[in-house]
Amino acid sequence: MIFAYIALLLYTLGIVLSFKRENSYILSAIGSVFATIAGIVGTFYPFELGRIGLLPHVYMSMGVTHTSGIFMTVAAIAWIAISIYSIDYGKFYSKDMGVWLNLSILGMMIILMAKDGLTFITGWEIMTASSYLLILKHKGSFKEAFEFLAFGELSTVGLIIAFASLFLKNGNFSFTQNSGTVLFLIASTFAFIVKMGIFPFHTWLIGAHAKAPSNVSALLSAPLTLMGVYGIFMALSIMPDLHLYNFEWWGLLAVAFGAMSAFWGALQAVATKQLKALPAYSTIENNGMILAAIGISLIAAGDPSLTILSEFAITTALLLVISHTFSKSLLFLSVGHAKEALDEDNIDDLRGAWSSVGRIPALGILLSGLSFSAFPPLIGFVGEWALLESFFQSYKFQSLAARLVTTFSGIFIALAIGMAAFSMIKLAGYTALGYDHGKKAKKMRSIFMRISESFLMVLVLGFGIFAPFVVRYFGYSQFTSGLFGVPSPFLMISSIPIFGVVSPTFFAIVASVLFLFPLAFYLARRHGVRRVNSWNGGLPLEKNEYFSAPAYSAILEIVLKKIYITREKHLNGEAHIEVVDIVNVFYDALKKSVLKVESVLSSTLMNGNINAYVAYIFAIFVVIFLIAG
């Protein structure tokens, strides 16, 4: 309990002592360490932080439960990495960035500890507003920041409706067992999936993540969308009677939207050419997979004989949460490091980061890319294995609708996982492992950036190898076992009786032993290897003669012409292939029509003519007078 107080105090101190840049970042890093401890303590021994009464029946209270403890641990570890990274990275931006970073983290902490609607919405607004100001720190990002704010407030509207319905039913805002209503579930789910960037509410995420400073991108992508996931967990935990077939429709919708979102995110990630838009689309994909796993768990929760599948799907969602939070923070931080050092915006222009920027950021991009490509034994592999296992078990469902939806969604999820690997090869292969451009990196102090990236790399690898212990930490020790000569608890099982098994620990051991032979061979023969450039008739390769990143994905863009709306554009004598995110077309049309209505209204109603204005006020007064009277 004391740790949570210390964490809150340190974040506040970080806001106050922001006259020196390092202060606020160091304080938020230390505060996040305490938040991690508070999360771990709260997971095992849930505690209360007390309550403040505002009105009769209306009070604000905070505390940590088992679920929020898990989420706080995961989020706080990402906060540590982001804060440490910001000690170096924050120097490129003004001093108030530290204030907003601390405030944003404080808001998230309040959300995670909220025990009632008022506290929750307070934290939500603090987080949204300060994140908006953080995005604005990057020059020329006003449009994207405003889009972020618009969608953030859209989710706040959903939350207000949800908590109002909570108040109508119970007479207070507190999150207690069986207090939820159907309207609460619908409205809050809407609010949370907007925050998670689920298709078709994902457009704000791309612009905001691509334009924001890199530490802010990591904060937005991993912990901020995590708040949406936590919100769904929280909303479901206070719904009554999950064990009747009441909420199968919710599960079906979640699976369908999640699978669609995963597919769409992966599809657009393949085609994107912008450096930070690719991880942003990958965020959409991962959040879609998390939502689908929650949906599976809710469908299974309706059937008393499928409790184990329901629990496994929850474990899956939590594993995916960990995988996404750590790997995506690592990806954004490493990409941001390389981007800042080389001052480039496209994937193609960042080639040779391995030799020009450094080994650690390049390895960070590579490792997180491998994790998202489900490369064993990294944490991403464990999460995606569990997700596919959950989908394979959907044959156990009784209703036809559930079977059909999960089968077709499973196809989309599998496609998404495959295409995620395709897009991550594009990102890691061209930036970290690509041919060197020979471009010199900008000199800057990067020791804390390197520390933070190495810290996350160890976590991505370590949590993957020791995934069975992570599952035990979640409290689902029934899914770890020992079989086939693997000692307990190093084997993960996906159902009881056993359906599928995997042991990342032993995979790592076996693979590393098998890897020793090629390694020894390589080390023995290494000195005889001569490295030369590609043969180009004796001439050096020009920049446009390399096999570029757009060329890598062009094949898919041309084959799936109908989905991407691929067009060839000619610019300065060069031809480019351009793709469109079709959802953006809709939002652009909406934006245009709103602007048009606005301009018409401003020219007719509020045109600066004093007579018209007085008449307008008078008319409104009369209308209100009539209605009120």
Partner 1 sequence: MKWWPVRGITRHLTEKSSYELDSSVKPMNNIFKRSLHIYMIDVGNSNLLNFELKALQSTQYNTHRFGIYFSDSPRHSDLLIVLGKPTEKMITPLMNTIKQMPEPFGILIVEEDEVFDLKLPNVVGRLKNPEPSEILGTLLKIMGRN
> What is the rounded distance in angstroms from the CA atom of residue 381 to the CA atom of residue 387?
10
User: How do 567-571 and 58-64 pair as beta strands?
Assistant: unpaired
Contact between 529 and partner 1 by CB under 8 A: the answer reads no
Contact between 540 and partner 1 by CB under 8 A: the answer reads yes
Structure tokens at 289: 């997979």
Contact between 537 and partner 1 by CB under 8 A: the answer reads yes
Structure tokens at 46: 């849930």
Three-state DSSP state, 178? coil
Contact between 497 and partner 1 by CB under 8 A: the answer reads no
Could you tell me the smallest distance in angstroms from the CB atom of residue 349 to partner 1? 25
CA 207 to chain centre: 14
Q: What sign has the CA pseudo-torsion 159, 160, 163, 168?
A: negative
User: Which residue stretch of 119-127, 173-181, 516-524, 537-545 sits at the interface with partner 1 (rule: CB under 8 A)?
Assistant: 537-545
**Element (DSSP H or E) covering residue 50:** strand 47-55
Contact between 19 and partner 1 by CB under 8 A: the answer reads no
Contact between 535 and partner 1 by CB under 8 A: the answer reads yes
Q: What sign has the CA pseudo-torsion 18, 129, 160, 191?
A: negative
Could you tell me the smallest distance in angstroms from the CB atom of residue 529 to partner 1? 11
Print burial letters for 451-476: b (CB count within 10 Å at least 16), e (below 16): bbbebbbebbbebbbbbbbbbebbbb
Nearer to partner 1, 400 or 529 (CB): 529
Could you tell me the smallest distance in angstroms from the CB atom of residue 425 to partner 1? 26
Q: How many residues does the chain have?
A: 629
Could you tell me the smallest distance in angstroms from the CB atom of residue 528 to partner 1? 9
User: Which residue stretch of 55-63, 183-191, 486-494, 525-533 sits at the interface with partner 1 (rule: CB under 8 A)?
Assistant: 525-533
Say if CB 470 and CB 319 are below 8 A apart.
yes
Alpha helices in 272-358 (DSSP H): 277-301, 307-342, 353-356
User: Which residue stretch of 21-29, 340-348, 424-432, 533-541 sits at the interface with partner 1 (rule: CB under 8 A)?
Assistant: 533-541
Contact between 533 and partner 1 by CB under 8 A: the answer reads yes
Helix axis angle, 117-136 to 96-113, nearest 10°: 160
Angle (CA) 290-470-225 rounded to 5° is 30
Q: Which of 56, 304, 485, 538 binds partner 1 (CB under 8 A)?
A: 538
Nearer to partner 1, 19 or 535 (CB): 535
Nearer to partner 1, 539 or 627 (CB): 539
Could you tell me the smallest distance in angstroms from the CB atom of residue 546 to partner 1? 17
Q: Which of 447, 532, 575, 627 binds partner 1 (CB under 8 A)?
A: 532
User: Which residue stretch of 15-23, 24-32, 155-163, 536-544 sits at the interface with partner 1 (rule: CB under 8 A)?
Assistant: 536-544
Nearer to partner 1, 407 or 533 (CB): 533
CA-based nearest residue to 318, from 67, 558, 560, 7: 67
CB atoms within 10 A of CB 575: 8
Contact between 526 and partner 1 by CB under 8 A: the answer reads no
Could you tell me the smallest distance in angstroms from the CB atom of residue 535 to partner 1? 5
Angle (CA) 15-17-18 rounded to 5° is 70
Nearer to partner 1, 528 or 608 (CB): 528
**Binding residues for partner 1, total number by CB under 8 A:** 8
Quick one: CA torsion of 340, 341, 343, 347, rounded to 10 degrees?
-90
Nearer to partner 1, 94 or 533 (CB): 533
Q: Which of 513, 523, 539, 571 binds partner 1 (CB under 8 A)?
A: 539
Could you tell me the smallest distance in angstroms from the CB atom of residue 542 to partner 1? 14
Range 349-388, binding partner 1 (CB under 8 A)? none
Residues forming the site for partner 1 (CB under 8 A): 530, 532-533, 535, 537-540
